[in-house]
Amino acid sequence: LTEVYSSSPALGRYFRSAQVISFSNESSTVTYQLVFSVPPSTEGFMENSMNPDFIRNILRQNIYDED
C-alpha cells in the first residue's frame, strides 16, 4: 500500500503512511489505516480527493494494472 499511494499522481504528495490494524486468516480480511496530510481547507478537496471511493479506486486501478 505504501508504494501504491506514495507513487500515486493524485495522492502521492499527501500520503504519509499505511498500517495494518487487524488481519483475519479465517476470512482473508485485512483492515488497514491510511494516513494523509491534507492541505488547509481547499474547496472540494476533502469531498473529491479524500473521498473513500476515490482512494479505493486508486488501489483498485493499481491491482488491475498489475494483471
DSSP string, 1-67: -HHHHHT-TTTTTTEEEEEEEEEETTTTEEEEEEEE-PPS--TTHHHHTT-HHHHHHHHHHHHHHH-
Tell me if 44 sits within 8 A of 50, measured CB to CB: no
Answer whether residue 22 shows pLDDT above 90: yes
Strand partners, 12: none
Indicate the number of domains in the chain: 1
**By residue range, what is the domain housing residue 61?**
1-65
27-62 pLDDT, tens digit per residue, is 889 999 999 988 777 777 777 778 889 999 999 999
Q: What pLDDT was estimated at residue 20?
A: 93
Instruction: Provide the 8-state DSSP code for 31.
Output: E
Q: What is the pTM (predicted TM-score) of this model? A: 0.74
